[in-house]
Chains A and B, each alone.
Chain A
Amino acid sequence: MNYDIIVVGGGHAGCEASLAASRLGHRTLLVTGNIKNIADMPCNPSIGGPAKGILVREIDALGGEMGINTDKSHIQLKMLNTKKGPAVRALRAQADKVTYANNMLETLKRQENLEIKEAIVDDLVVENGKVLGIKSENGETINSKIVILTTGTYLKADVLVGDKRTSSGPHGEKPAKNLSDNLRKLGLTIQRLKTGTPPRIERSSIDFSELEREDGDDILRTFSYDINPLYKIEEQVPCYLTYTNLKTHEIINENLNKSSMYGGYVTGIGPRYCPSIEDKVVKFHDKERHQLFLEPESLSYDDIYLQGFSTSMPNDVQEKMVHSLKGLENAKILKYAYAIEYDAIDPLEMKPSLENKIIENLFTAGQINGTSGYEEAAAQGLMAGINASLKLQEKEPLILKRNEAYIGVLIDDLVTKGTNEPYRMLTSRAEYRLLLRHDNADIRLREYGYQVGLIDDKRYQNFQNKLHDIEELTNYLKNNKLTTKDNKVIENLDTSPILDGITYYDLLKRPGITLEKLLTTLNLNLYYNKEVLEQVEISIKYEGYIRKSLIDANRLKQLESIEIPEDFDYSLVQNIATEARQKFLKIRPRTLGQASRISGVNPSDIAVLSVFLKRYKHD
């Protein structure tokens, strides 16, 4: 059997990778340990949130599946940060874990060129530094031109509860015991990471009556640019809030030595932004309470996810801890919290295309690259699928820049700075976040999706129409003026009278005036859809700040445009500090811009390198 591309792992990265590869016409095989776990959400039941929600929009703009699949599968949807500026708004959905997985599996099954197979992969077939296929646990070899590893937390996974360590993936699934050792033998650096998940509580055992309720928004929205909302506002399911209290903290402090982490049973490094409740209580000992969220996992079963309560305490202590919480005094724990340790590669050994530097035609995406989160995984999976396909077509890889997409920030951070804790996307990681908004993901990326071939003509045409409308409306606002004679009408906009002629465009810049208000008050018979109005309004109202970001981004572009040859001999450049030289040799930055972002590299190193590259080019 010969495939173009084999994707190992059926999580969020694997689904996007195999869909992109097969949609681009490549014969693709998705290998998973258990078909039942395809598109599984072993942790929280939500998709999106600040920065992450924008990742999902970007995936959709490029032609990935996560946005549409979430729109088909959620039980609550919220726009976050609506009281802040447009740059930080983001959608978050409470996804139904059962329908999400089912819908994704259906999509995969329907997909042409894509086959799914159950097997545990043990090793890669590699010859002359080039991958030629995979070997499964039962000795079967399957050949392919490209292999994409999206193994999630399954590499040599150990589940930890208290002092108990069990070799297992999430839900008691079989881990891939040998693959990471074999990758190490092939020359890859392997690191050990850790993450954790909180207990699941039976819904009917919780007393919600005294808990704070959190409902979904009363405005219909979608992640995807291409579909209409599929849910009803009143059918959304609420979440609830509760808090830890001094009694909870007392229980935790008394039992600290029994926790896997504090008992010294864990070697992997956990993420800072996913602290266990033990961590929170110890590090923030003066805080009297910590906020917890009760999130329904699915309409099909009774589990409530207790967000904020990750722990690796033994089961009996978990019982006591949970019962100390308001509303959960009689709660029944359906699944105990656990920590999980797993192997990951060093992302510094990866090119920005997500291809491995040591083994050609091997791509990796998701938690194996040291990231955390469904959205981060899906984004990489999509890019790995796209770039594997482009490689087969002998085309240049698609590498998104930091000023183009959160996906660009994510991958650039990974391949430039590496990570030694599971990497989560945060808005603060994006220096050009005003350019990387929820609302303009399509304007930033749809063209790429179309060029690559994941956006069909119909979707592309809709996008072109939107661009056309935006331009038309913007021009209209620029070219039409109000004069002092119109001050009567202007009064109705609750703004001070004008002293001279003013264009609609400039009037819109005044605080408190929205485009919708302007159009209705002035009785302008212009009918554009909401997304067009939103786009025009944001780009006018924030014009000054956007321009500033663009200037900064252009400065970056200059550094990005100076390429460093892949085989560049750093020993030729004297006067570079030793630390910088070592980093350059390991990371082999592609551009001066990337080089400047490596930690431990000083501006002087970049200055020296830049001068040398200029001379090098001339010679």
Chain B
Amino acid sequence: MNDTIASIATSLGVGAISIIRVSGTEAIKIVNKIFKGKDLKKVASHTIHYGHIINNEEIIDEVLVSVMKKPKTYTMEDVVEINCHGGIASTNKVLELLLLNGCRLASPGEFTKRAFLNGRIDLIEAEAVSDLINSETDLERKVAINGLEGNLSKLIKDIRNNLLNIISNIEVNIDYPEYQDIYEVTLEDLKKQVPNIKIKLEKLVMDYENTKLLHKGINVAIIGRPNVGKSSLLNKLLDENKAIVTNIPGTTRDIVEGTIYLDGIKLNIIDTAGIRETNDVVESIGVSKSLKALKNANLILLLLNNNEEITNEDKDLISKTNDKTTIIVINKNDLNTKLDLTTLNLENVVSINTIDNQGIDSLKNKIKELFNFDMINNSDFTYITNLRQITKIKEALNILNELEIGINQEQDLDILEMDLKDIWNTLGLIIGESYDEELLDDLFKNFCVGK
């Protein structure tokens, strides 16, 4: 648990300075081994030192090193941060040196995990912090900050309180059956209240799907026959956006040609054109490549040529994209119209050219419309930002479905209450709370019983 970990804390490729963070009992010792400057073992805590990272006398980079001794650090362990100035290659080299000298490459979120395990931050905070670090756009940051302030906690707490009121009332009915003045919970009450809880939980799941788009971006695949203008469309989209994040080939399994931000929402554009053309293979391969790209896409931009009649290949692609969110993009609308789609009964058709911006703008508006950008932008995003949380909420929903079956079978209330408790407990795990004492407190606070 307490080995020394290191990783690059800033995004690669963004900004002039990259920071490598090292945390653990050996942090200072290891960095000292590759640092030429002051003896870091002798410097005071929370100080910054100028020097060089060296490898066998060879200078790798000119750096500033911050030394922070436990416990007042992010992880509550000894932490050293190296500010590298030399760009990606030398930063990578420094990290490599650290690993050679005894550090282990930190897994994603491991620093935050240590901060949590060492008791510095609670679970939701930990998750929000890691999201904050990873967030790339303003919207994501909004979600992350809401998480920090406990908006999700509040929502879950509200639902749990609602459940707790029912549960403790049923418990009192069980433990104090002789009290005639105490309200007796009925099946009808559950029939009324359970659907409300279900709606709230389902909304959380729905919002999660939206926030997931914020985190991962919308995968957009541009497909179409060769020479239909895929590359031109790609270039047009990328050119229009100065906020392009560089494309790092091979960083994802998809062929990401570029990333653009549309109203703060990330679009990962996957283009199949480039591959085919460099490989110079028969046209049919173009189709099969396109089909493959379809699989991981949230949105398909299917390109057709306005200047040509529709081919069987086009029709094939149209039918293959039936079950996906697709925009039919008719390119070259500045040329004569030979394409006739009237018989195909298509939705979401946008017509563009690569000379003016009018078509591109309507394409963007179409994307915004299809993915409810308005709603996403106007949500208050109090919501779930990670897998653990969503898994628990889905688990709670599953139990709730079983509960509904039990309610329909008119099971005894004390039996149904077991499911209610289960849901309450499961939701408690999301915010790291599940104390039975809470239940007893509620029970005796709200009901007047006892000899």
Residue positions of A touching B, CB distance < 8 A? 43-44, 50-51, 80-81, 84-85, 87-88, 198, 214, 241, 271-275, 280, 283-284, 287, 289-291, 293, 307-308, 310, 417, 426-429, 431, 433-434, 511, 542, 545, 548-549, 574-575, 577-578, 599, 602-604, 608, 611
Contacts and interface: CB of A to CB of B under 8 A. Distances in A.
Given A50-B177, A604-B116, A84 B412 contact: yes
B177 to A, nearest CB: 5
A428 B440 contact: yes
A308 B450 contact: yes
Of residues B118, B175, B418, B432, which shows the largest number of chain A Cβ atoms within 10 Å of its Cβ?
B175
Given A84-B412, A310-B451, 7 more contacts: A43-B451, A84-B414, A293-B178, A308-B451, A427-B175, A542-B415, A603-B432
Given A289-B181, A599-B435, A599-B437, A88 B449 contact: no
Contact of B414 (A85, A271, A283, A291): A85
A81 B117 contact: no
A291 B172 CA distance: 15
B180 A291 contact: yes
Contact of B119 (A275, A431, A511, A577): A577
Given A198-B451, A603-B432, A85 B444 contact: no
B24 to A, nearest CB: 11
Closest 10 CB pairs of A and B: A85-B412, A272-B444, A577-B119, A428-B171, A284-B448, A273-B450, A85-B415, A88-B174, A88-B414, A85-B414
Interface string B66-101: 000000000000000000000000000000000000
B413 interface: yes
A434 B436 CA distance: 17
Contact of A84 (B1, B174, B409, B437): B174
A608 B412 CA distance: 40
A291 B451 contact: no
B443 A428 contact: yes
Interface string B396-414: 0000000000000111111
25 contacts: A44-B451, A50-B175, A50-B176, A50-B177, A80-B177, A81-B414, A85-B414, A85-B415, A272-B444, A274-B450, A274-B451, A283-B448, A287-B181, A289-B181, A291-B178, A426-B440, A427-B175, A428-B174, A428-B175, A428-B440, A431-B436, A433-B418, A511-B410, A604-B117, A608-B117
Nearest to A308: B451
A455 to B, nearest CB: 30
Nearest to B443: A428
Nearest to A289: B181
B2 A574 contact: yes
A417 B435 CA distance: 11
A52 to B, nearest CB: 9
Given A198-B451, A274-B451, A578 B119 contact: yes
Contacts of B181: 287, 289-291
A408 B143 CA distance: 45
A291 B175 CA distance: 15
B401 to A, nearest CB: 14
Contacts of A575: 1-2, 114, 117-118
Contacts of B444: 272-273, 275
A511 B415 contact: no
A611 B1 CA distance: 9
A457 to B, nearest CB: 37
Given A272-B440, A426-B440, A429-B436, A574 B175 contact: no
A426 B450 CA distance: 12
A426 B415 contact: no
B105 interface: no
Contacts of B443: 428
B418 A545 contact: yes
Contacts of B412: 84-85
Of residues B409, B415, B439, which shows the largest number of chain A Cβ atoms within 10 Å of its Cβ?
B415
Interface in B158-217: 168, 171, 173-181
A511 B179 contact: no
B449 A273 contact: yes
B2 A81 contact: no
Contact of B415 (A87, A307, A574): A87
Contacts of A44: 451
A397 B448 CA distance: 40
B117 A428 contact: no
Interface string B284-319: 000000000000000000000000000000000000
A104 to B, nearest CB: 22
B415 A545 contact: yes
Contacts of A289: 181
A427 B432 contact: no
A375 B175 CA distance: 15
A508 to B, nearest CB: 14
Contacts of B1: 574-575, 608, 611
B440 A291 contact: no
A542 to B, nearest CB: 7
Contacts of B414: 81, 84-85, 87-88, 433
Interface in B408-451: 409-415, 418, 429, 432, 435-437, 439-440, 443-444, 448-451
Contacts of B176: 50
Contact of A81 (B114, B174, B411, B429): B174
A613 B173 CA distance: 42
A608 to B, nearest CB: 7
A51 B415 contact: no
B209 to A, nearest CB: 27
Contacts of B418: 433-434, 545, 548-549
Interface string B97-131: 00000000000000000101111000000000000
A549 B418 CA distance: 9
Contacts of B117: 575, 604, 608
Given A85-B412, A273-B450, A280-B448, A426 B437 contact: no
A291 B451 CA distance: 10
Given A273-B444, A291-B180, A428 B2 contact: no
Nearest to A309: B451
A280 B451 CA distance: 10
Contact of B450 (A80, A85, A275, A599): A275
Given A84-B412, A434-B415, A603-B432, A290 B448 contact: yes
Contacts of A545: 415, 418
Nearest to A552: B422
Contacts of B411: 85
A50 B412 CA distance: 16
Contacts of A611: 1
Contacts of A577: 118-119
B124 to A, nearest CB: 13
